[in-house]
């Protein structure tokens, strides 16, 4: 294997989260990952594969500890470790621990065991690589997240707030998933940001777990809710003498349809009554909710998408590193599961995304039906390579079909027709030295 050199090409992936209790051991993208490794095993490039944290879901194992977790991984995914071993004979494989697999940095045995599969485990929080005249900074990114920061790096007993969420919620979901009508609870890892969890659970209960007869009987009411709410407001204005509802004309019109019209009238009246009650309750709840959110924002109790921009801390630290180390022009991280590429002070802030299933929220167009969480895969590998005028950074998308047909009910598919997500990766860019700064030129990604 060639030594580190400035003409090396780097492939970067992160956040695979392989492993976990019971249903969490299922890896939907395993064939694609094996194919990707097989391609690298046959490449003629001077290449290195960097797995930038959270390769394994060690936090998601709750019945074993220490090196026993790795032994379960070996037993569960023998073909994956065989692929690592074969690929590592041709290209260097470097593995950085993340927060979910922080234990890799806590036990020396992991270094030896992974070395047997040609994986170079580097038990530190960040590394750098030179590409031409420039330097790339790699870290998983949990360091910038207060809920997942490892205060005592390398201590197996260092457990941030995120650890408890995964052991109490994520792992429990893996154990309970098969008890539902459908095996969906295991997708809890794909719910990001985590404050969407209550809405996701409500959605899956309504579309998956609720008795079908009850669900279909509720659909007309929920679809008519917006109309009923407007009529309830109109009724309130009518009582105050500010506006007159055309009740008689509506009744006369519906009478033309006989019993069906009478049933429609009673359904509408019932909807209006319920909608009016919900509006009366909802107004004070709205102001209470808004006040609670402001309080959370003031205290900074939870740093989520509801309170902060998730990229802010990464932009700030990237600026600091670019200023202190002028040769460093790319800050590459993962953790947030969002594949993004941004220009920051002439350098590039690069997120490698995740290989886990992604859930795209689609709110109802009419009524108050629960939102649909549309599943898709976006399997990204970042390629960083020297070119004649600098360093090229681009995403390679490994194709995997959407699982919507198997995982969405007919009702969910009906309400999302024409609104299916089309995951897109950022464009290719070239980072070129230009005095003390760098310039980023956009192009088309591969």
Average pLDDT over residues 326-337: 95
**Average pLDDT over the chain, rounded to an integer:** 84
Residue 301 binned pLDDT confidence (cut-offs 50, 70, 90) = very low
Average pLDDT over residues 145-169: 91
Paired sense of beta strands 437-442 and 429-434, if any: antiparallel
Give 61: exposed, middle or buried? Use CB within 10 Å, 0-12, 13-18, 19+: buried
Among positive and negative, which fits the CA dihedral 154, 157, 162, 163? positive
**Cα–Cα distance for residue pair 270/276, rounded to 1 Å:** 10
Task: Pick the closest to residue 85 from 54, 44, 116 (CA basis).
Answer: 116
Q: Is the pLDDT of residue 123 over 60?
A: yes
Q: Determine the pLDDT at residue 246.
A: 61
Query: What length does the chain have?
Result: 446
Domains identified in the chain and CATH numbers:
9-208+328-442 (3.60.21.10), 224-299 (no CATH)
**Cα–Cα distance for residue pair 185/170, rounded to 1 Å:** 9
Q: Are 109 and 71 in contact (CB under 8 A)?
A: no
**Cα–Cα distance for residue pair 129/138, rounded to 1 Å:** 8
Instruction: List the single range of 53-62, 98-107, 230-239 with lowest mean pLDDT.
Output: 230-239
Q: Is the pLDDT of residue 187 over 80?
A: yes
Q: Are 125 and 95 in contact (CB under 8 A)?
A: no
**Cis peptide, bond prior to residue 193, ω within 30 of zero:** yes
Please give the helix or strand (H or E) that residue 52 lies within, else none: strand 47-52
Q: Write the Ramachandran bin of 104: left for phi over 0, alpha for psi from -120 to 50, otherwise beta.
A: alpha
Average pLDDT over residues 161-167: 90
Residue 230 binned pLDDT confidence (cut-offs 50, 70, 90) = low
Higher pLDDT, 117 or 193: 117
Q: Determine the pLDDT at residue 218.
A: 78
Q: Is the pLDDT of residue 444 over 90?
A: no
Residue 52 binned pLDDT confidence (cut-offs 50, 70, 90) = very high
Please give the helix or strand (H or E) that residue 384 lies within, else none: strand 379-387
Higher pLDDT, 1 or 208: 208
Residue 303 binned pLDDT confidence (cut-offs 50, 70, 90) = very low
**Cα–Cα distance for residue pair 203/89, rounded to 1 Å:** 47
Q: Determine the pLDDT at residue 307.
A: 41
Q: Are 395 and 446 in contact (CB under 8 A)?
A: yes
Name the pTM for this structure.
Answer: 0.82
Task: Pick the closest to residue 15 from 57, 75, 67, 55 (CA basis).
Answer: 55
Contacts of 67 (CB under 8 A, 6+ apart): 107, 109, 110, 113
Long-range contacts of 213-221 (CB under 8 A, 24+ apart): 215/411, 219/369, 219/411, 220/267, 221/267, 221/270, 221/271, 221/274
Phi first, then psi, for residue 9 (nearest 5°) are -100, 135
Residue 277 binned pLDDT confidence (cut-offs 50, 70, 90) = low
Residue 102 binned pLDDT confidence (cut-offs 50, 70, 90) = very high
Average pLDDT over residues 166-189: 89
Q: Is the pLDDT of residue 305 over 50?
A: no
Instruction: List the single range of 112-116, 156-160, 364-368 with lowest mean pLDDT.
Output: 364-368
Q: Are 174 and 23 in contact (CB under 8 A)?
A: yes
Q: Write the Ramachandran bin of 60: left for phi over 0, alpha for psi from -120 to 50, otherwise beta.
A: alpha
Q: Is the pLDDT of residue 304 over 50?
A: no
Contacts of 364 (CB under 8 A, 6+ apart): 370, 371, 372, 415
Residue 346 binned pLDDT confidence (cut-offs 50, 70, 90) = confident
Average pLDDT over residues 278-301: 64
Residue-wise pLDDT tens digits, 11-40 = 999 999 999 999 999 999 999 999 999 999
> Among residues of the chain, what percentage have pLDDT more than 70?
78
Q: Is the pLDDT of residue 265 over 90?
A: no
Instruction: List the single range of 122-131, 168-177, 319-328 with lowest mean pLDDT.
Output: 168-177
Task: Pick the closest to residue 396 from 377, 387, 383, 378 (CA basis).
Answer: 383
Q: Is the pLDDT of residue 135 over 50?
A: yes
Residue 181 binned pLDDT confidence (cut-offs 50, 70, 90) = confident
Higher pLDDT, 166 or 244: 166
CA dist 338 to 50, 174, 352, 354, Å? Answer: 18, 23, 7, 7
């Amino acid at each position: 294997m060639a030594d580190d050199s400035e003409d090396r090409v780097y492939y970067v992936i992160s956040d695979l989260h392989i492993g976990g209790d019971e249903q969490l051991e299922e890896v939907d993208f395993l064939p694609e990952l094996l194919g990707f490794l097989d391609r690298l095993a046959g490449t003629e490039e001077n290449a290195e594969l960097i797995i930038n944290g959270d390769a394994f879901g060690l936090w998601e194992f709750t019945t074993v500890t220490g090196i026993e977790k790795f032994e379960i991984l070996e037993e569960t995914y023998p073909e994956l470790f065989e692929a690592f071993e074969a690929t590592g004979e041709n290209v260097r494989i470097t593995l950085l621990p993340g927060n979910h697999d922080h234990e890799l940095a806590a036990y020396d045995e992991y270094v030896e065991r992974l070395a047997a599969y040609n994986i170079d485990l580097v038990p530190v929080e960040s590394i750098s690589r030179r590409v031409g005249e420039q330097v790339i900074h790699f870290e998983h990114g949990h360091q910038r997240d207060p809920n997942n920061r490892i205060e005592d790096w390398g201590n197996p007993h260092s457990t941030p707030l995120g650890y408890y969420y995964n052991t109490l919620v994520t792992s429990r979901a893996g154990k309970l998933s098969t008890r539902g009508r459908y095996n969906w609870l295991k997708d809890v890892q794909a719910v990001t940001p985590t404050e969407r969890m209550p809405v996701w659970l409500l959605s899956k209960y309504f579309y998956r777990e609720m008795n079908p007869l009850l669900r279909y009987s509720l659909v007309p009411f929920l679809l008519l809710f917006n109309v009923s709410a407007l009529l309830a407001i109109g009724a309130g204005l009518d009582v105050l003498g500010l506006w007159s509802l055309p009740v008689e004309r509506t009744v006369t019109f519906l009478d033309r349809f006989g019993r069906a019209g009478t049933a429609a009238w009673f359904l509408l009246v019932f909807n209006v009554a319920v909608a009016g009650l919900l509006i009366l309750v909802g107004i004070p709840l709205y102001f209470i909710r808004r006040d609670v959110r402001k309080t959370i924002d003031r205290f900074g109790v939870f740093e989520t998408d509801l309170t902060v921009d998730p990229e802010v801390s990464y932009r700030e630290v990237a600026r600091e590193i670019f200023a202190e180390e002028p040769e460093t022009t790319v800050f590459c991280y993962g953790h947030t599961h969002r594949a993004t590429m941004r220009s920051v002070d002439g350098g590039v802030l690069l997120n490698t995304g995740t290989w886990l299933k992604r859930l795209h929220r689609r709110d109802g167009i009419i009524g108050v039906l629960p939102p649909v969480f549309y599943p898709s895969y976006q399997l990204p590998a970042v390629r960083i390579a020297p070119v004649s005028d600098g360093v090229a950074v681009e995403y390679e998308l490994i194709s995997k079909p959407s699982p919507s047909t198997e995982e969405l009910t007919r009702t969910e598919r009906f309400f999302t027709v024409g609104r299916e997500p089309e995951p897109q990766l950022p464009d290719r860019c070239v980072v070129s030295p230009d005095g003390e700064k760098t310039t980023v030129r956009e192009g088309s990604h591969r």
